[in-house]
C-alpha cells in the first residue's frame, strides 16, 4: 500500500513572521494565534485544536535558538531523524520536543494571558512596607515662614528577635509539605499542564513551623518613632511632605514604605491668602477718603505705611510688593493687597449731624440723579 506524502507547513509561514524575526516578534505572533485557536475558545472544533497544536509546535522550535538554527539549516528533517547525516539531537524518546515541554511554553504564554501561572520558578515573599500618613495642623504664620516640629508615629518595624524572618531563633523555615518546596502546584488541563502559586507557602517553597514568640510570625512589631518634620516656607493647605523610607518596614527583606505628612493651615484673622499673595480690607472714614491720609498697615513682618490720596473711592486697592508669602522652594515673595473701604457711620450726635447736613448742602455729587448734567445727557441719548 502506498503511503501518502504529507508536507508540513513552514513554521515561519505558520506564525506569519519573516525568517529574520526576533524572539519578541515570534512570541507576539504565537500569542495572537494561540488566543485565536485555543480549545477553550473553540469547543468541539477539531480543526482549531489541530491548528493550535501546529502553532505551538512551531513556537517551540522558533523560540529556541538551537532548534531554530537546526530548522533553518535542515527544515522539518531536523526533527525527523533525517537531517545532517545523523540522529536528531532535539528529539526526545517519545518523539516530542525534549528541550522545552509544552507546560513551560504555556506557563510563559498563557500565564500572561489567563493568569494561569508562571514558568515554574519559585515566588518570593518580599513585600514593600505600607505607606503612612500623618496630618499636621499649622498656624498661618508657620505655613508662611516655615517651622520645625517633632512628631511621634506608630509604625510596624522589623522584629529584632527573629530579624524579620518570622521564625523562632534556631528554627529555620521548613520545606512546604504541599508543593514539596517547588513554590507552585501543577494541574493538568486538557493536553497541557498549568502551574499556580502554592496557596500554603505563597510561592516561597517554605513554611514557618515554629513562629517567633515576639512577633507571632508576623516578622514586624509595632513601635513608636520620633521624627523631626521640617516644613519649608510657603506651604499651603493640602501640601504633602514625603519622607522616603519612614513608613512601615517591609517584610522578608522588602523596602520600607514612605511617610506622607499632610498639612492643614489655620485661617488668619486679618489676612486671606490667594496663592502667594495676601489680601486684607482696611476701613477708612469719609473725611480720610476725601482729604487723603496715611495708614499704618500690619504685615506678616511688621508695620508698613500706605499713602491714601485725596478723593479715594471705596474699594480702591493698594499693592505692597514683596509683603506676601514666600514662594515655596523659590526666591521672592508674593504681594500684600490692601483694599480700603469707606465706613459709613451709623450713629451721629447732634453736632455731627448738623455738620454733615451743612456739608451736603454745599456739595454737588457728579452724575447724581438730580444734577442738570445727567438730565441733559439722557435727553441727548433719546433725542
Annotated binding-site ranges: 159, 162, 176, 179, 198, 201, 212, 215
Contact between 172 and 300 (Cβ < 8 Å): no
Binding site members for Zn(2+): 159, 162, 176, 179, 198, 201, 212, 215
Element (H, E) at 293: strand 293-299
With a CB cutoff of 8 Å and minimum separation 6, the contacts of 215 are 159, 161, 162, 166, 221
Contact between 199 and 113 (Cβ < 8 Å): no
Element (H, E) at 279: strand 277-284
Contact between 280 and 317 (Cβ < 8 Å): no
Q: Whose CA is closest to 17, among 61, 67, 74?
A: 61
**Cell numbers for 62:** 522558533
**Cell numbers for 339:** 483694599
**Cell numbers for 307:** 499713602
Contact between 25 and 59 (Cβ < 8 Å): no
Contact between 360 and 290 (Cβ < 8 Å): no
Contact between 218 and 166 (Cβ < 8 Å): yes
How far apart are alpha carbons 41 and 52 in whole angstroms?
11
The number of beta carbons lying within 10 Å of the beta carbon of residue 97 is 19
Amino acid at each position: 500500500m502506498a503511503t501518502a506524502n504529507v508536507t508540513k507547513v513552514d513554521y515561519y509561514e505558520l506564525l506569519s513572521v519573516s525568517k529574520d524575526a526576533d524572539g519578541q516578534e515570534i512570541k507576539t505572533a504565537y500569542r495572537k494565534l494561540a488566543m485565536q485557536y485555543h480549545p477553550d475558545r473553540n469547543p468541539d472544533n477539531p480543526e482549531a485544536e489541530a491548528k493550535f497544536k501546529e502553532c505551538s509546535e512551531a513556537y517551540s522550535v522558533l523560540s529556541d535558538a538551537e532548534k531554530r538554527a537546526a530548522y533553518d539549516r535542515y527544515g522539518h528533517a531536523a526533527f525527523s531523524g533525517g537531517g545532517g547525516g545523523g540522529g536528531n539531537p532535539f528529539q526526545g524518546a517519545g518523539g516530542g520536543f525534549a528541550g522545552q515541554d509544552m507546560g513551560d511554553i504555556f506557563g510563559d504564554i498563557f500565564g500572561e494571558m489567563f493568569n494561569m501561572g508562571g514558568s515554574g520558578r519559585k515566588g518570593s515573599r518580599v513585600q514593600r512596607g505600607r505607606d503612612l500618613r500623618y496630618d499636621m495642623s499649622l498656624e498661618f504664620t508657620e505655613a508662611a515662614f516655615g517651622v520645625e516640629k517633632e512628631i511621634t508615629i506608630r509604625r510596624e518595624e522589623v522584629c529584632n528577635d527573629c530579624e524579620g524572618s518570622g521564625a523562632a531563633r534556631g528554627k529555620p523555615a521548613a520545606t512546604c509539605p504541599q508543593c514539596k518546596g517547588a513554590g507552585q502546584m501543577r494541574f493538568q488541563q486538557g493536553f497541557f499542564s498549568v502551574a499556580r502559586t502554592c496557596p500554603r507557602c505563597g510561592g516561597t517553597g517554605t513554611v514557618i513551623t515554629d513562629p517567633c514568640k515576639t512577633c507571632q510570625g508576623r516578622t514586624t512589631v509595632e513601635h513608636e518613632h520620633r521624627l523631626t518634620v521640617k516644613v519649608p516656607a510657603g506651604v499651603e493647605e493640602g501640601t504633602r511632605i514625603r519622607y522616603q523610607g519612614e513608613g512601615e518596614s517591609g517584610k522578608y527583606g522588602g523596602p520600607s514604605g514612605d511617610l506622607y505628612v499632610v498639612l492643614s493651615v489655620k485661617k488668619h484673622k486679618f489676612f486671606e491668602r490667594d496663592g502667594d499673595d495676601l489680601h486684607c480690607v482696611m476701613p477708612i472714614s469719609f473725611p480720610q477718603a476725601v482729604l487723603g491720609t496715611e495708614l499704618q498697615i500690619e504685615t506678616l513682618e511688621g508695620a508698613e505705611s500706605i499713602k491714601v490720596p485725596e478723593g479715594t473711592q471705596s474699594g480702591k486697592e493698594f499693592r505692597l510688593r514683596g509683603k506676601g508669602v514666600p514662594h515655596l522652594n523659590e526666591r521672592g515673595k508674593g504681594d500684600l493687597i490692601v483694599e480700603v473701604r469707606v465706613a459709613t457711620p451709623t450713629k451721629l450726635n447732634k453736632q455731627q449731624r448738623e455738620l454733615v447736613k451743612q456739608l451736603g448742602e454745599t456739595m454737588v455729587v457728579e452724575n447724581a440723579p438730580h444734577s442738570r448734567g445727567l438730565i441733559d445727557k439722557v435727553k441727548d441719548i433719546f433725542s
